[in-house]
Amino acid sequence: MSKQQRYISGCGIVLKRTKLKETDMIITILCEDGSLISMVAKGARKPQSVFAHAIELYATIRYSARATSQLAQLTEALPVNFKETNRNDYTKLLTSSIVGDLAQHLAQEDLAFEKFYALTHAALHAIVHTSSQQSWWIAAAYVLKAYSMAGFRPCLTHCCICGSPLQLTRNYQRFSCNEGGCLCSACQSCSYEHTLSYAFLNCYWTLETSTFAQLSDAVLELSLLKKVFEFESTWLSFHLSITLKSLRLASHDITALARGRCS
Ligand SMILES: [Zn+2]
């Protein structure tokens, strides 16, 4: 007698699509509990496949899959919001990929990560519904909110060593990636690697405390965006050993964009 087959189902965001054999695909999904799951979508690369349009990158889908001893096998996939696509917008594809790439690094298989799905879904939704230019800020805000949610929030309002409030009358603060934040004047004898301008800190706090909807309308200085991306790259690399190509590419694009505006 054959064993009864077990099915899994739920809602999730498609974070990665990997080719498998001639016509199949492995998709990696961020589930509603914040964990990752990978499954095989048989025949998904055939044009007439029932999965072809549903499992677009960064789409939210309702899925059903058959559990096997190896990867689960996708049996049904329905897009939750069919119109949410950035397919023809290079900037939005890049900003979405920053969100998707980081989500893949921070989420883990079989490990629930509370609120992470909601954060990721909100960021991708906001990118679809805002302008290309504002989507840069959504991506920048997502990165710092995501690593903070994972427990790696830099200390930028107090001295990270003694805990005393920082003197915000100064136009810059000493910052140590190694120590995990800003340093007061008494603790500055500890080695510090950077100075952060007050304008940068103000921008960072705005990104940290604003919702994605608020950032869709916010007027922020483009010159600070590159500094935010560079800070995030350094922080992710130092504390989480994560290097995001999409984040470096974004930093490069912003430099070119800022140059274009100045010339
Ligand atoms: Zn101190």
Distance from C-alpha of 182 to C-alpha of 89, rounded to nearest angstrom:
38
Mean pLDDT of the residues in the chain: 90
Burial environment of residue 113 by CB neighbours within 10 A (0 to 12, 13 to 18, 19 or more):
buried
Distance from C-alpha of 46 to C-alpha of 133, rounded to nearest angstrom:
35
pLDDT of residue 45: 85
Strands in 172-176's sheet, in edge-to-edge order, are 181-183, 172-176, 194-197
Distance from C-alpha of 166 to C-alpha of 257, rounded to nearest angstrom:
34
Strands 60-66 and 72-79: antiparallel
| Ligand 1 center from residue 144 Cα (angstroms) | 23
Q: Domain 7-79 classified CATH 2.40.50.140?
A: yes
| Ligand 1 center from residue 166 Cα (angstroms) | 8
| Ligand 1 center from residue 160 Cα (angstroms) | 7
Checking if the pLDDT of 263 tops 60, the result is no
pLDDT cut 90: percent of the chain above it: 66
Q: Two tokens at 93? A: 């594809």
Domain ranges of the chain: 7-79, 90-262
- Find the mean pLDDT for residues 93-111: 95
**CATH code linked to domain 90-262:** 1.20.1440.120
Q: Assess whether the region 7-79 and the region 90-262 belong to the same CATH fold.
A: no
- Find the mean pLDDT for residues 96-115: 95
Checking if the pLDDT of 3 tops 70, the result is no
- Find the mean pLDDT for residues 94-122: 95
Distance from C-alpha of 223 to C-alpha of 152, rounded to nearest angstrom:
25
pLDDT of residue 1: 46
| Ligand 1 center from residue 13 Cα (angstroms) | 42
Checking if the pLDDT of 100 tops 80, the result is yes
| Ligand 1 center from residue 231 Cα (angstroms) | 21
pLDDT of residue 168: 72
Q: Tens digits of per-residue pLDDT, 141-178?
A: 999 999 999 999 999 999 999 999 987 767 889 999 99
Checking if the pLDDT of 56 tops 80, the result is yes
| Ligand 1 center from residue 169 Cα (angstroms) | 16
Distance from C-alpha of 133 to C-alpha of 222, rounded to nearest angstrom:
9
| Band (220; pLDDT cuts 50, 70, 90) | confident
| Ligand 1 center from residue 176 Cα (angstroms) | 12
DSSP helix/strand/coil, 68? coil
